[in-house]
Amino acid sequence: MKRFTGNFTQQEPISEDGIAAAVDVLRSGRIHRYNSLAGETSIVSALEAEYAAYQGAKFCLACASGGYAMSVCLRAAGLAPGAVVLTNAFTLAPVPGAIVSAGGRPVLVEITNDLVIDLDDLARKVDLTGARFLLLSNMRGHLANMERLQALIEKTGVTLIEDCAHTMGATWNGVKSGNFGLAGCFSTQTYKHMNSGEGGLITSNDPQFMARAIILSGSYMLYERHGAAPDKSVFDTVRLETPNMSGRMDNLRAAILRPQLASLEANIGRWNDRYRVIERTLKSIPQVHVPERPDEERYVGSSIQFCIPGISADAAQRFVAANFDRGVELKWFGADVPIAFTSNHHSWRYFEPQPMPVTDEVLSGLFDMRIPLTFTLEDCELIADVIADCVRNLCRGEP
């Protein structure tokens, strides 16, 4: 019986360049982003300039986490207390958490079988609620039809903020994820595409918005030290009207991120090589649905999802256990209670429950798996074979 013996939570080590840069920061003692000498560009400011250039955006702000980035974006965009913010029903807890922490009221939108926001339901919810904000979760790296989405938000006047925690480096028809609305929010938490343990990035082309976000992040009156910020004149009024809600990135995290940004494009290719190995086997299993990847989408395959439509809750739990016994760690999104990082909208009891029948049907058979770059292509072939064996055993009624 085939069994995988690798580790699903083991990331690649920080590069020697990153380690050396971090040691230099530690030796300097200048860890705070604004603890810089006259005329000196801090490490965080350098990262902001480099990430703005990579993203093709005018402005970038480095902050404490991806969740903080989303909350700050909503506040900087002018979200009023109690205002509706639309978001996918299939996402992770930091997304509705950011809405609530910014004072908003989450209203959920159904998803499709391919795990993207249902644009027809989105249009209905905009009409029904009068919502002026959409926090779009590009959940697990799946992009909706972004031209159609843009047409909808332009028609309705909805402000789009993209959660790109799983789509850093992804594109739709050549346009980078995060560049379709007012702002893009990115995460550098350990399991994302760049790893600083925790961290976030915000990009935008709107100077007033970014000035508010910078002040909100805790810049004090040191906004001129930012690496990709609007002109100082934009801050003349903003700096006095915007509260400080400190959530800065520090130089230590920025130091280990800069070398990773330089290797991000190469790593996207490595992730996608691994993804396609697993995808090929999963697509050959008749009982399994693997979300379609449109030709317009360049994805980043750092995880993979598949559905077994019609599977019962008991069978889904046995399927996860059978894979785990053979070394393959799957997450199931149909569970009644949160497990580690995985939860669904039924568990988020800090806002009113909302019926999501289509999403619930999808989640009831949805399985998810990380693909760390520490896996070889041979590892991915073995993992896919284990999953396929467990599906066959499930269909035969075997444990």
Type of residue numbered 136: L
| pLDDT tens, position by position, 106-162 | 999 999 999 999 999 999 999 999 999 999 999 999 999 999 999 999 999 999 999
What's residue 37's pLDDT? 87
Equal CATH topology for 16-262 and 264-395: no
pLDDT surpasses 80 at 397: no
What's residue 396's pLDDT? 81
> What mean pLDDT do residues 28-50 have?
95
Give the CATH fold of the 264-395 domain: Aspartate Aminotransferase, domain 1 (3.90.1150)
Name the token pair of 374: 């520490």
What's residue 337's pLDDT? 86
> What mean pLDDT do residues 195-201 have?
98
What's residue 336's pLDDT? 83
DSSP string, 258-310: HHHHHTHHHHHHHHHHHHHHHHHHHHT-TT-BPPP--TTEE---SEEEEE-TT
Cα–Cα–Cα angle for 350, 352, 357, rounded to 5 degrees: 120
Q: What is the sign of the dihedral through the CA atoms of 349, 201, 74 and 299?
A: negative
Name the token pair of 146: 């972004």
pLDDT surpasses 70 at 104: yes
| pLDDT tens, position by position, 274-327 | 999 999 999 999 999 999 999 999 999 999 999 999 999 999 999 999 999 999
- Rounded to an integer, what distance in angstroms lies between the CA atom of residue 237 and that of residue 259? 36
> What mean pLDDT do residues 81-107 have?
97
What's residue 38's pLDDT? 81
pLDDT surpasses 80 at 87: yes
> What mean pLDDT do residues 164-172 have?
98
pLDDT surpasses 70 at 23: yes
Q: Where does the pLDDT of residue 39 fall: very low under 50, low under 70, confident under 90, or very high at 90 and above?
A: confident
What's residue 94's pLDDT? 96
Confirm if 138 and 163 have CB atoms less than 8 A apart: yes
Name the token pair of 198: 């925790």
Strand partners, 159: 133
Give the CATH fold of the 16-262 domain: Aspartate Aminotransferase; domain 2 (3.40.640)
Question: Residue 284 CB: number of other CB atoms within 10 A?
Answer: 11
| pLDDT tens, position by position, 339-386 | 888 999 999 999 999 999 999 999 999 999 999 999 999 999 999 999
Confirm if 350 and 288 have CB atoms less than 8 A apart: no
Domain-wise residue ranges, the chain:
16-262, 264-395
- Nearest in space to 277 (alpha carbons), one of 378, 192, 350, 204: 378
CA dihedral 142, 189, 71, 355 (to 10 degrees): 50
pLDDT surpasses 80 at 398: no
What's residue 327's pLDDT? 98
> What mean pLDDT do residues 208-221 have?
97
What is the per-residue burial (b if ≥16 Cβ within 10 Å, else e) of 121-139?
A: bbeebbeeeebbbbbbbbb
Q: Where does the pLDDT of residue 66 fall: very low under 50, low under 70, confident under 90, or very high at 90 and above?
A: very high
DSSP string, 161-188: EEE-TT-TT-EETTEETT-SSSEEEEE-
What percent of the chain shows pLDDT beyond 70? Answer: 99
What percent of the chain shows pLDDT beyond 90? Answer: 95
Confirm if 211 and 223 have CB atoms less than 8 A apart: yes
pLDDT surpasses 90 at 243: yes
What's residue 339's pLDDT? 86
